[in-house]
Structure formats: structure tokens, C-alpha cells
Structure 1
Amino acid sequence: MSLRVLVGCKRVIDYAVKVRVKPDSSGVVTQGVKHSMNPFDEIAVEQALQLKEQKLASEVVAFSCGPAQCVETLRTALAMGADRAIHVNVEGAEYENMQPLAVAKIMKKLVEKEEANLVIVGKQAIDDDCNQTGQMLAGLLGWSQGTFASKIDVDGEQLNVVREVDGGLETVQVRLPSVVSADLRLNTPRYATLPNIMKAKKKPLDKMSAGDLGVDVASKVSTVRVSEPPVRQAGSKVESVPDLIQKLKEKGAL
């Protein structure tokens, strides 16, 4: 079976940036902050490209939904080697409050439109850590799913997915079409070279809105408050084990 792969590419605040909460506690500061592709999605793109290099996939299509700046994220995927890209424009409050279910519904429409038979997404986004989109998409499509994948092998019309679980590694066999979410150890994403960055500017990038796909992205969830984690208190030294036990008793830890 020749695979047509759709890959999710979310634009998030860069992992190296220290996130700051807005003064009104309504969210985090995004204006003037460096953004990049979600690291787990980079791994997903790399896996799709490897499948194409192995002659197992015929086409890799990158997808992102969000504001106009998402085009930059998609250009990165194209520079890595994706064939085409699709940007579903969602702006303002709708984007800020958009939930994984809305993204999954958009992806379902694109899967049907593109006749894809494999979707690869990052296991989670580093901004909201939801870890829901892939599972919801599989449910909406009625497809099999392989989550937290650390290795993927194509076996005819099936995938052998090695996934990380609390007790070690678990291998599951899923029938295509399927949705797979990429874990950290699946691969190491390639860097986009300058020639490929230049080529990416000429690759097809389709633009549309959620309305064009007939998807309502209005959030069913509202954020009450966003706050920073409490500052860790300084530790203290004790001279002996009896002193340690006494300190723990005083703090109610024993």
C-alpha cells in the first residue's frame, strides 16, 4: 500500500523561551516572542519524510491551523522535504481558545479531501500539553491509532508501532489507515539546508479557512485563570539523620 501522509505542524512558543504570564492572568505573553514548530511535530515530519525516502509513501502533506504566521512553520516543513502544505486560517480569540477537538475536526476534513491514509502528529504540543488531537482524530475517523511511537515499521497494510509505556516498551500492530503520534525517541529531525529553504518558497501552499471546511472552531471551554507555578522554596542543611527526622516531623512529612 502506497501511503499518503498528512502531518500536523503546530506553531508554538519556542522551547528555549521563558514563558511569561500576562498581567491580567488571561494567558501567556505571545507578542514579540519567538515561535517555532512544535518539537514533537518536527519528529512527525521527519518520520513522514523517512517513509517517503523508503518508497513507502508517495506524498507528504504538512498542515497547520492558526494565524498567518503559521505559514512560516509550514515553510520549515517544506524546507525539510514535505511536498505540499495546507494552512487553515484561524485568527484572534478563536485561535487563542481553540481546543484539540476543533483541530481534530479540521484534520478529519483534510484527510477526506486529500484521501490520506496515514496521519502523523506529535504526541503533544509543548504549549498546552493536551495530548488529545491524535486520539480524537482517530475516533472521528474510526481509524486505528498508535500513540507515543518510538519506532514505526510498515508491514504490508499494517504498522508495527513500538510505544513507550510505564513498564518499558510495548509493540502494537495497527491496520492502515491509521493515526500515529510521535514520541521523543522516534527519530532526530533533520536540519533544513539553505538550498531547500529556497526551494520551499516555490512549493505549493494552499490556504483556506475553517468555514471553508464546514468546521465550527468556537471553544466549548473557557480559561478561568493562568498563573505561574509557585516559586520553589530554598532547602536547608542538617547535621545528622536525627536532625533530619526532627525537621521532617516539624514540617508534618512524617
Structure 2
Amino acid sequence: MSLRIVVCVKYVPDATGDRHFADDLTVDREDVDGLLSELDEYAVEQALQIAEEADDAEITVLTVGPEDAKDALRKALSMGADKAVHVEDDDLHGTDVMGTSLVLAKAIEKTGYDLVLCGMASTDGVMGVLPAVLAERLGVPQVTLLSEVSVEGGTVRGRRDGDTASERLEASLPAVVSVTDQSGEARYPSFKGIMAAKKKPVESLDLSDLGIEAGEVGLEGSWTAVDSAAERPARTAGTIVKDEGEGGRQLAEYLASQKFV
């Protein structure tokens, strides 16, 4: 039986761009280019490696987002994933991690799965809790923050590295796994892969397809909210310390005054 792998990916604003909040205090995605979250590329890479070791495996990449989020799916498909699912609905605007996890769980159940792979966090929200919440919604084990992962005989195994020690973890499939940016560099799509991605299927779903009410997601259904936001102040001129024999003392006094030491 084929190993069904679902990789959750996110279309995020380019971190190098000039990002702003919109009037409703959600991220203004119109004024900045978007791309596949770099941390999710590691999850795609690990899915590809697991599939290469399996006798038979199929990789589905899944995202929740606007029309442009298809670009993230195409990147993952060009890396080697087999097919994609895109959940798009106007009522999803402003959805927080709790709503997103609900949508992902319903889409994953509809798609069918044995293993769900996620990045360690998104590069825009950087919460890092979605894999755990998703596992809870699906009612399956979670094995998170792995820097090494493998699947064999219906069991997923991996290594989680901490500051002072490493842990060996395992769980029976089906399960949700998240991988860190130490799990292995993601491959660069080849020209052949880019061309092949154009012919791979991308299924589009909306909230009605998943049996989700509009009030369960979006700004109305969010468990969290941004109360206020302000523009980051412009950078000011730095403090110059001239070394005329007292430079070390002046530098130490400045660092102490800024509570750096």
C-alpha cells in the first residue's frame, strides 16, 4: 500500500520586503512579494527523501491561502511532490493558527494520509505551534522539531536536538511530524522539475467542500487578535566612540547605559 505523505506549506511575504499592516491590522500582502516559506522547504525535502526510501509513496502538498499561494505549491511540485491541494476562500481572510489548523485538518482528512510533515514554524507568524494543534485535531501522535527523520514499517523515527542533549523519538503512523532547518538543505528545482510541475494536478477546495462555516475562521472566528500596530521608527544616527585613550571605558559606559552589559 502506498505511503501517503501530506506536506503543509505556507505562502508568506518575502522577509526582505517592506512589510506593513492593512487597515484591519492583518498583514498587507498586496504590497510585498510572496514565496514558499523557507522553513517549509525543509519539510518538502524530508518528504522527498522519505518517498525515495519507500517502496511506494505519494506526496501531496497542501496550502491555505489566496490565489497567489499557488506559487508556493508550484515550487514544491517542481522540487518533486506529486500533487497539490489549495484551499482558497474569501472568508479565510484574517484566520489565525486555530482556524488554519481546522482547515488543514479537514483538508488532510479529505485527502487521506499516513504521515503529515510541517516546517518548524512559518516565517511570517513564527508561532511554531501549528503542528501540535494539527495533531490534536487529527487525533494522532506528534513528533516535532526533528533534525533527522525516517519512516520504516509503519513507524516514524527521528532525532530532536536540544541545547544540552538529543532525544530519539518514534511514533506509529498516522502521525504529524515537524522538521527543523537542521534536517538537511532543500534541493533546488531542476529545469525538468519546473516544467513537469506545470502538468501536475492542483485541486482547489473552499470552506463548503470541507464542511466549515465561515464563522469558524477568518477574523470573526479567530482566537487571537492584533489590538494595535505602529510603524517601526526610522533608524537614528549611531553613537561614535573616538578612541583617544579612553575608548574602551567610553564603550563600556555606553553598553552599560543601554543595558547591553
When the two structures are superposed, what TM-score results if normalisation uses the length of structure 1?
0.86
| 8 A contact 1:97–1:222 mirrored in 2 | no
Shift of the 132–211 alpha-carbon distance from structure 1 to 2, 3 Å rule, reads farther
> How far apart are 1:62 and its partner, in Å?
0.5
Flag as ranges the 4+ runs of structure 1 deviating above 3 A.
Answer: 22-25, 227-238, 240-254
1:12 matches 2:12:
yes
Unpaired runs of at least 5, structure 2: none
Gap change, CA 1:25 and 1:139, over 3 Å in 2:
closer
Query: What is the alpha-carbon root mean square deviation over aligned residues?
Result: 2.6
5+ residue gaps, structure 1: none
Match among 227, 242, 247 for residue 224 of structure 1 = 227
**Equivalent residues, number:** 251
Deviations 1:147-182 (A, max 9, x none): 111100224222221113232422212222110112
Q: Does 1:105 align with 2:108?
A: no
Larger deviation, residues 102-111 vs 221-230: 221-230
- What one-letter code is carried by the residue in structure 1 that aligns with 2:47? A
Contact 1:25/1:227 (<8 A) preserved: no
Alignment of 1:1-254 (within 5 A): 2-15=2-15, 17-22=16-21, 26-55=25-54, 58-91=57-90, 94-215=91-212, 216-218=216-218, 219-220=221-222, 221-229=224-232, 234-235=238-239, 237=241, 239=246
Which whole-Å deviations, capped at 9, do the CAs of 1:23-43 have from their partners, x for residues lacking one? 868344422421110111111
The structure-2 alpha-carbon separation of the partners of 1:27 and 1:236, relative to structure 1 and needing over 3 Å to count, comes to farther
TM-score by length of 2: 0.84
User: 1:89 & 1:247 partners in 2: Cα distance?
Assistant: 52
| Distance 1:193-1:246 versus aligned 2 partners, 3 A rule | closer
